[in-house]
Amino acid sequence: MLVDELVSELADRLLFHNLTLASAESCTGGWLGRELTALAGSSHWYEGGVISYSNAIKEKVLHVPSALLNQHGAVSEPVALAMALGVQSALNTDASVAVTGIAGPGGGSLDKPVGTVWIAWCYGEQTHTCCFLFKGTREEIRQQAVRESLLGLLNLSEEIKK
């Protein structure tokens, strides 16, 4: 499926269940929000997003504990999850998604090479996280992160129907 088709399918599911969504983005820099709002009528289910590129914004706006950032680093499962829960709380939505990663070309390490991306999805108290290792240019890594974020939201919406 193309990204716009993924968004359209997600919109249909969220509207059917009368659910709202928020996003928190780091390495994708608003790309996910752009794709979500490209669909006319997205204001019926998408409340908004936070681009938390810096750790300071992760702490101040999303209330990610500094201890998590210091202990695990910005690109980690606990931080991705805290971002998702933080944006869901701040924007008072039913569901959320958060993306944090290393898009490159620099910034990677042996433990966290370029292309490492953590994504977290939340619906109420239900949470899911996944670590990806994408290959390609900076733009390709970011594009893959957006696509996987949407696919994860669709998977989560399947569980909501049960």
Which pLDDT tens digit goes with each residue over 64-121? 999 999 999 999 999 999 999 999 999 999 999 999 999 999 999 999 999 999 999 9
Range of the domain at 125: 3-160
Number of other CB atoms surrounding residue 122 within 10 Å: 25
CATH code of the domain covering residue 71: 3.90.950.20
- Closest listed residue to residue 73, CA positions, set 58, 90, 88: 58
| Residue 21, strand partner residues | 46, 95
Q: Give the whole-angstrom CA distance, residue 44 versus residue 62.
A: 23
Total tally of structural domains belonging to the chain: 1
The CA-atom distances, in angstroms, between 54 and each of 3, 24, 60, 141 are 27, 12, 10, 19
Number of other CB atoms surrounding residue 96 within 10 Å: 28
Q: Answer yes or no: is pLDDT of 158 > 90.
A: no
Report cis status (omega within 30 of 0) of the bond before 105. Answer: yes
Report DSSP state, residue 17: T
pLDDT tens digit string along 27-66?
Answer: 999 999 999 999 999 999 999 999 999 999 999 999 999 9
